[in-house]
Structures are given as C-alpha cells and as structure tokens.
Structure 1
Amino acid sequence: MDGTVIVEIQRACGLSNSEYRLFDVTSRILGCRRVRPYVNCKLQWGTAMTESRGTSFVEAPEDGSWFNWGGRLEFPVKADFWRASRFSISMEVLDKRELQGTLRGDSLIGTGEIFLDPNTVASTPQQGIELFRNGKSAGELILAVRMEAPDQARAIMAASTCCPLTRVVHALAQVLRAPNAVELLMAARPNILQLSEDAESEVHRLLKAWVQRFCQQTLQLSGVETDDQIISALWRLARSAQEIVACCAPSGTDDVPDIVVAWLKTFFSSCAGAEAQLNEERLRNLLTMREQTGAGHANPEEELLQMGVQVRNLESSMLPAVLARFQEAAQGSEDEVFTCEQIVQDGRALPGLSVILRRSPGADTGFHVFIYHTVSIREWQANSLIDPCTRAALRAEDILPVS
C-alpha cells in the first residue's frame, strides 16, 4: 500500500439511545438496557473505497453527555489517494447487543459523513461529524484524522538524486501532509535563521500557508512530467519559499538560495532518517527559474487599470514590467507573502497593494517588480530598512501604492 490514513474517535455525545426494537422497553424497565456504541467506518475518494473497519464497543453515558472514546482505525490507501482533491469518511454507529444482536443484528444509533481536503487535514486534524437517524440528530463524534506517507516516500527523499523530479515532488507532498510537517520544517531550519518568538510565529504561519499551496499544486501533476516541466510548473512556489526565507534571514544576507538548499537537505535527512542526497544543481535551477514575460503589450496602462492597478505613482517606463508581474501572479495564483492572500482574484488586483521596482538590465522589461501588502511592507521597511526579498536597502519612497 501507499500510505495510511488514521482516524481516531476521540469523543462522543448524544449516544443515549438507538433504533427501537421489540423488547427494548422491557429491557429498560428491568434496568438491563445499556447503550454500548461502536463504529464501522470506511473512506472513499473518487470511485475507490476502503474496506469497512470497526472499533470495539464502549459504554455510553445514559444522559447522552460527552465522553472520551479512544477508538483508532487505520486505513491503508493506494497511490491514487494522494492525487485526490477530497475524500470522505463515512461512519455508522451501532449499539452492541448480546442475545438480540445474535438473533437480529445490532441496532442503529446513527450515520454520518464528512468530506475533507487532503491538503488541509494537517492544519485542522480534529473534525466533528454529526450523526443522523431517520432524518433527526442522533449524536456527534469528534475525530482526529491524519495521513502518514508511505515508506517509499521517505526512501525517495533519502536518495532523490536517483529519482525524477516529479517523484521527489510527490514524495515531498506526501510527507508535508502529516500533521506535524510545519513543525518539522521549522526544526530543520539552518542556524542562521534564529528568530524571536513573534518572528517564529509569523514564519510558522507563512510556511503553513505555503505547504498547503504546494500540496494543492502537486494535485495538478500527472507524475510523468520531465524535470524541465516540473521546474516550469513549480518555480513560482520556489520563489515564494525564497521570499519566506528572505523575510527571516539576517540583514545583509544575500545567499538566500544557499539557505534554502541547506534547509531542504536537513529536512529531507530528518524525514529519511539518514543523510539525504540532493541534486543541488536541479534544485538551484528551480530556485533561479523566472518566466520571460512582459514584451509586446499594446497598452499596458489600460490593461493595468482593467485589473484594478492604479498607475498614477508609476512612470510610463515601469508599466510593462508592472503589468507583466501582475499577469504572472494571476497565472500562478500567487499569494502575497505577508497576508497569504491571492495577489489577483477574479482578474482584479487585491486592494491595498504596493510595488517595489529594481532596475535590472537583464530582465525583459528592464525592471524586477516585487508586490507587497502596503501596510505590511511599510511596517517592515520602518523596522528593517531593507527589501524582504532582495535584502537591498529600501526607502519609504520606494514603496509605490497601486491598489
């Protein structure tokens, strides 16, 4: 199998009665009627479905109050599970009977179902599921759901130089779906990235959002792409990762790609349980990849205005570069580094953005353009006086509001 989904039934309430059957009233009057619930559960994604697995029964409070359960179910899953955009967990809660159960089967307490996004399970591992019977509420369960990557994923991370990049990317996505993935990433960061408590909390938030985007992006990959195709598909995410690193690197640090390489090597090694081998040349190609855009716009001012980008603070020579950058952000569904909100939504620029332009003769448009949330970048500039991405000196007047 290609990994495991673990479902823990942590707590439950409202399980004080089950489907009525003959002799139930007599049993209750005689004081021998108890509710002893157990769960049958299965997972489904697409057309695939696991076998049903069940917990042992527990004693439920007669008043229907909350109680701790502690049941744990493990579901081996196939490779196609990791490419699913969502999966469902179906629950059937039954009341364990003795003689009646032998003769007529156990009676139903309730059923329920929830649908989960595998890319966000790690960030919200605890899930509630309401039970129903005959259209009426019949109780509630609190579940803890987590996904464990297969051993093969860790083996790929240990020897990634021998594997196509598409397999490495999928293996990394499987590992990053674990509930403690962001904590493992934080623990693997190089010593140069020593952070204050507030800064560490902020970087944790940024990494959490980045991990979700990375896992979501891998769903669009078929698994047969060439290395060049993978680099073309993921270079924007790689740049976003570098922006996060740059935000927490000491002032004057200009070797952000080196820090990213060291960080990933440590993370891969910790996941693999041995020193990992990275194809650094391939990784650096991904980190330095940029899209060639920006030429040939007939009326960049008009196109920017249509996107909700104001041009009054921009020189005419800047417009093609700014337009190319916003189009690039739209094409890649790129998130702003401080707020983690999409820069362009439904063809319109997010309100409250500014741009910073750096002259670059090597760029198609003559500029490199960086987009930031205005309030956040102004606060950053006041505290650090440098650009969070380039580490170059940054003045307040370099921040040009555009939306």
Structure 2
Amino acid sequence: MDGRVSIEIQRACGFSSSEYRLFDITTRVLGFRRIRPYVKCRLEWGPTSTEMQSTSFVEAPGDESWFDWGDKLAFPVRSDFWKASRFKVVAEVFDKRELQGVVRGDSFIGTGEIFLDPNTVASSPQQGLKVLREGKSAGELILAITMEAPDQARAIMAASTSCPLTSVAHALAQVLRAPNAVDLLMAARPPMLELSEDTESEVRRLFQAWVHRFCQQTLQLSGGETDEQTIGALWKLARSAQEIVACCVRSSTDDVQDIVVAWLRSFFTGCAGKEAHLNEARLRGLLTMREQTGAGHANPREELLRMGVNVDNLRNDMQNAVLARFKEAEQGSEEEVFTCEQIVQDGRAMPGLSVVLRRCPGSDSGFNVFIYHTDSIRKWQANFSYDPCTRAALRAEDILPIC
C-alpha cells in the first residue's frame, strides 16, 4: 500500500437536533426524540479525494454535553499524498433513523472541514472540528489523526545503500510523520547516551522541532535529484541534527559523527523490522558538508550592524567569519539549537545571541563560528564546560554576546 491515514472520532458534543423533516414534530411532542449521530468522512489533497467512510452511530446526551465516541476510520492513500503540503478532512454528520431512515434516508445534522499540514500532525494529532448547519453551530468533534508510512518506505530504509539519497530522505520523512516517531527515535539512541530526565525532555523537544523542519524540507525534493544535489539541499539539517546529538554526549572524547551513524542505523533497523544497511560514506559526507558564504565582504562591520549584530566584542579579523556564518544561517533559514527560533529573519539577527569562534586555518576565514542563544549557552557552559557542538573545552570568556 502507499500508506494510510487513520481518523479516530474521540469525543463529540452539541448534537441535540437535526434537520427538521415532516413527522419529526410528533416525536418531539411525545418525548421520544433521540439523536443518534454518525459521521461520514473523506480526505482531500489537491484534486484527489478518498472514498467517503462512515462510523457507527452512538446515542448523544440530550443536554449537548461532551460524550465519548471512540470509532476509527482508516483511509488508504496514494503515493502523491506524501507530496502534498496540506490535506483536508471533510466530515458530514447524520442522525440515524429507523423507519424514516429506510424510507427517506437519515436526517442531516451538519458538516465541517479542517485543513491540516501533514508535517505537524505527528506533534498535534488531536484536532477539533466544528460542525455547522446553515451557518450555525450544530456540534463539535474531537479527532485524533495518525499517518502510517507505506511499506515501500520501510523497504527503502532497510536497503538504503542501493537507493538514491533523495528516495531515502522521502522514506525517512514519511516514517517521521507517525505520532510516535520521536519516541522511536529516542529509543534507538546508542546505549552510552544515558540522559537525565531534564536532558531527555529537552532533547526530545529539539528533535520534535527538527522533525518538523526535515519533513517540510523534503517536500521541496522532486525525487529526481542526484545524491550531490540532495546533500546540497539537506546538509544544514544534517548539521542541526548533529548538534542535537552532541548535546547528549557527556565525554569530549566521543566522536559525535560516529554516534550519529550508530543512532541512525539503529533507528532504520527498528523501522524496517530487520537489519538495515547504511551507505556510511554518503552519510558522513552529508554530515561534514560545509558551504562558504559571505566571506570577503567589502565592509563586514557595516553589514553586521545592518543585521543588528553588535561588533564591539569582535576583532576585525573575526568579522568576516561571523558575517559569513550569519549569511549561511539566513540562506538556510537555520534555527538556533537551544530555542529553535530562526537565527536570521527578514535580514535581522534574532536578539539575545552569542558566538563562539574556533581557529581553523583550513577555512576561508580562519575561524569556525558557532551561534548560540546567550542565556542557554551560558547555562550549558556552567554545567558542562565544553562546547555542545565541537566537544572542545569552553570557557565563559569564549562566549561573545553580539545581539
């Protein structure tokens, strides 16, 4: 199959009446009026729509209060569903009738629809849907929506060495849209990464935000890219993931890249249901990819000031490197690792940032530059005394506030 979307009708309220039809007045007068709603649903994305499916009926309380429902519908979806930037859930609610239903069909309660971003469903699977009839409220549904990746995605993850990188990226994004994806990701971490409760909660939050960005970015891949083109599109995300993994490592002697490779192999194996084989050379190339941007600007001081960067703490020989790093972050719409806020937006650096510079004679500028939220990196340094990205020793005076 090409995957499946499940919709569970968890709860409902407000269903106290349905569309009036002849003879309904009799049951109201005699006090026998009952509302027994059921829901018909379908999915739509672009010009494509699934078949309408129906739940069983339940008996609604007469006071319009909330009641549990608990019926689930499963919709097989085609491969083009995973390329859609959004999809729509359409619901129609009817009142189950006995004899009148046989003769004239069931009475209409109302209809509703919601548009959803497939990249955010995993983090927010529960959705409220307002039901309207003739423009007025007729009730509300609480839906729980989950997406299940196609079998082909798991097959690609099991044999990724023989698949183009763009196909592997799409398969990974499909799996990561499952509601328990971050749980599976955390469970796959190598045994040496024992985290405190607070650290695990923070890393989980960072991965949740990263998963959202990764799924969004893969929507921009057509599927026909070469490995080199895919690496060029995804390397900033790979570096961001590597920075999150680095936050889990307590020993400065551990190789973060080795841990990333081991972690991914374990995750792929768990998702595929059998031993997964990674193209390790390609993965390491993705993790080590760098891009030189903005070096050699004619007036780096002026450009940094225009971006809202205070240069008082930066020597002249540092300014080109810092500018290059901010330009790189701007082009990649990068987010700061601790806060998950965009580093540069509308040409301005976010407030409250610092940089850490490391001498690197092999680079164009002579420095590698790391951008952090000031309060967060200061707390990190006070607790661990090493850089979360490089594992090198980090002193308080190495942290240079610039915004």
With normalisation by structure 1, the TM-score equals: 0.98
Question: Which residue is equivalent to 1:281?
Answer: 281
What per-residue deviation string (whole Å, max 9, x for no partner) do you get for residues 99-139 of structure 1?
Answer: 22222221111111111110010001111111111111111
Kept after mapping to 2: 8 A contact 1:355/1:400: yes
What per-residue deviation string (whole Å, max 9, x for no partner) do you get for residues 186-228 of structure 1?
Answer: 0000011110111110110111111111001101111110000
> Is 1:39 equivalent to 2:39 in the alignment?
yes
For 2:306 and 2:54, how far apart are their aligned partners in 1?
A: 57
Question: Which residue is equivalent to 1:102?
Answer: 102
Question: Which residue is equivalent to 1:329?
Answer: 329
User: Percent of aligned positions with the same letter in both sequences?
Assistant: 76
Question: Which residue is equivalent to 2:393?
Answer: 393
Kept after mapping to 1: 8 A contact 2:321/2:365: yes
What per-residue deviation string (whole Å, max 9, x for no partner) do you get for residues 282-318 of structure 1?
Answer: 1000001001224331111111111111111100111
Question: Which residue is equivalent to 1:255?
Answer: 255
Question: Which residue is equivalent to 1:241?
Answer: 241
For 1:246 and 1:235, how far apart are their aligned partners in 2?
A: 16
With normalisation by structure 2, the TM-score equals: 0.98
> Is 1:142 equivalent to 2:148 in the alignment?
no
For 1:365 and 1:191, how far apart are their aligned partners in 2?
A: 38
Q: Secondary structure at the match of 1:178?
A: coil
> Matches of residues 247-396 of structure 1 in structure 2 within 5 Å?
247-396=247-396
For 1:143 and 1:63, how far apart are their aligned partners in 2?
A: 21
For 1:362 and 1:48, how far apart are their aligned partners in 2?
A: 52
Kept after mapping to 1: 8 A contact 2:295/2:323: no
For 1:83 and 1:61, how far apart are their aligned partners in 2?
A: 41
Structure 2: gaps of 5 or more residues: none
For 1:134 and 1:55, how far apart are their aligned partners in 2?
A: 23
For 2:81 and 2:323, how far apart are their aligned partners in 1?
A: 39
Partner letter of residue 246 of structure 2?
A: A
Comparing 28-37 with 261-270, greater Cα deviation is found at 28-37
For 2:293 and 2:108, how far apart are their aligned partners in 1?
A: 61
Question: Which residue is equivalent to 1:64?
Answer: 64
Displacement of 1:254 after TM fit? 4.1
Comparing 9-18 with 248-257, greater Cα deviation is found at 248-257
> Is 1:130 equivalent to 2:107 in the alignment?
no
Question: Structure 1: which 4+ aligned runs deviate by more than 4 Å?
Answer: none
For 1:302 and 1:138, how far apart are their aligned partners in 2?
A: 60
Kept after mapping to 2: 8 A contact 1:122/1:146: yes
Structure 1: gaps of 5 or more residues: none
Question: RMSD of the alignment, in Å?
Answer: 0.9
For 1:156 and 1:392, how far apart are their aligned partners in 2?
A: 37
Kept after mapping to 2: 8 A contact 1:246/1:256: yes
Comparing 213-222 with 44-53, greater Cα deviation is found at 44-53
Displacement of 1:156 after TM fit? 0.6
Q: Secondary structure at the match of 1:394?
A: coil
Displacement of 1:34 after TM fit? 1.4
Kept after mapping to 2: 8 A contact 1:18/1:109: yes
Partner letter of residue 256 of structure 2?
A: V
Kept after mapping to 2: 8 A contact 1:112/1:132: yes
Q: Secondary structure at the match of 2:319?
A: helix
Q: Secondary structure at the match of 1:267?
A: helix
Q: Secondary structure at the match of 1:248?
A: coil
For 1:80 and 1:362, how far apart are their aligned partners in 2?
A: 45
For 1:306 and 1:48, how far apart are their aligned partners in 2?
A: 47
For 1:126 and 1:100, how far apart are their aligned partners in 2?
A: 35
Question: Which residue is equivalent to 1:112?
Answer: 112
Kept after mapping to 1: 8 A contact 2:292/2:324: no
- Number of equivalences: 403
Q: Secondary structure at the match of 2:131?
A: strand
Partner letter of residue 79 of structure 1?
A: S
Kept after mapping to 1: 8 A contact 2:91/2:113: yes
Displacement of 1:31 after TM fit? 3.4
Partner letter of residue 85 of structure 2?
A: S
For 1:295 and 1:29, how far apart are their aligned partners in 2?
A: 82
